Amino acid sequence: MKLSLVVSIEETSFAAVAAQGTWRQALARAAELGYDGVELAVRDPTSADAAAALEEAVRAGLAVPALGTGQAYLADGLSLTAPDPDVRRRAVERLRAHLHLAARCGALVIVGLVRGRLTGGREATDRRLREALDRLLPDAGRLGVRVAIEPINRYETDYLVTVEEVLEVVDRVGSPQVGVLADTFHMNIEEASLEDALRRCGERLFHVHVADSNRRAPGWGHLDFGRLVDVLEEIGYRGFLSAEILPLPDPDQAAAQAVRFLRALRATAPS
Ligand code: LER
Ligand code: MN
């Protein structure tokens, strides 16, 4: 079981980031705590800090399994499905830059909040998302970078809330480059059964965010991570579990709890 910690390379309004301080401090701490990797939340992949963080991760012996893109939406208002074609064009350009950065470290690129919200009905929103993905996928294919679409709970978006909805998009696109990011916090709100939803993903499951029911570190809520890890093994998931957790009671304790608790579940299992 490979574990990563979400690290933002700039200050963010997104709360579930247990790594605080500068990204340099966060990377050093993740390595010290025994994480195998860091998932980097990157607003602008062309920034000097993005390249430097990547290099520093490699130097620290940390993998970078995924790049988060939510800040392109939260801070810059970019959305793949915005009604304004210019916003969509800039969102695609931004994600193209994420693909290029991801190619340098074997990461996948996350489509979370940057997919936007329902505007002008489901069909129109689906069509815009499809167009955006169609523009990105040739680059993704050429670069060998996968794209993972994340179902996000109803209180944060009204578009692609459940695993099933994302699987429909994934199947419609029909590219081996596109799959699902399953986030246990969102799933706990939206899914009738987390285990069944993971099973339905099968090999279309590309990445996993772990947080407990209250978005605190695993073990500090009421999710049964033992069962979830069993199901991940059953479906042959070989990717990372990435801790996307609130910095509570403080950043350090949260990050330490996640790695300690998850390692204890599979103390002897090969990664
Ligand atoms: C991002 O991975 C996520 O889970 C969302 O809650 C972002 O707001
Ligand atoms: Mn998430």
Kindly report, residue by residue over 115-165, the tens digit of the pLDDT.
999 999 999 999 999 999 999 999 999 999 999 999 999 999 999 999 999
Higher pLDDT, 12 or 30: 30
* Radius of gyration, alpha carbons of the chain: 17
Strands (E) located in 26-177: 37-41, 66-68, 108-111, 147-149
- Indicate whether 31 pLDDT > 50: yes
Does residue 151's CB lie within 6 angstroms of at least one atom of ligand 1? no
Banded pLDDT at 14 (limits 50, 70, 90): confident
CB 53 within 8 A of CB 27: yes
Does residue 112's CB lie within 6 angstroms of at least one atom of ligand 1? yes
Peptide bond into 138 cis (omega under 30): no
Through-space distance between the first and last CA atoms of the chain, rounded to whole angstroms: 4
Distance 150 CA to ligand 1 centre (A): 8
- So what's the pLDDT on residue 188? 98
Distance 83 CA to ligand 1 centre (A): 22
Banded pLDDT at 212 (limits 50, 70, 90): very high
Does residue 247's CB lie within 6 angstroms of at least one atom of ligand 1? no
- So what's the pLDDT on residue 270? 46
List the residue whose alpha carbon is closest to atom 6 of ligand 1: 152
- Closest ligand 1 atom, CA of 16? 6
How high is the mean pLDDT of the chain? 96
- Indicate whether 271 pLDDT > 60: no
Give the Cα separation of 78 and 88 in Å (integer).
Answer: 7
Banded pLDDT at 77 (limits 50, 70, 90): very high
User: Which ligand is located closest to the Cα atom of residue 12?
Assistant: 1
Give the Cα separation of 49 and 95 in Å (integer).
Answer: 17
Higher pLDDT, 271 or 210: 210
CB 243 within 8 A of CB 255: yes
Distance 268 CA to ligand 1 centre (A): 31
- Closest ligand 1 atom, CA of 156? 8
Residues with catalytic function: 150, 244
User: Which ligand is located closest to the Cα atom of residue 209?
Assistant: 2
- So what's the pLDDT on residue 45? 97
Over residues 207-235, the mean pLDDT reads 98
- Closest ligand 1 atom, CA of 14? 8
- So what's the pLDDT on residue 11? 83
Distance 8 CA to ligand 2 centre (A): 13
- Closest ligand 1 atom, CA of 150? 2
Banded pLDDT at 267 (limits 50, 70, 90): low
Distance 153 CA to ligand 1 centre (A): 9
User: Which ligand is located closest to the Cα atom of residue 67?
Assistant: 1
Q: 10-24, 56-70, 180-194 — which is least confidently predicted?
A: 10-24
- So what's the pLDDT on residue 20? 78
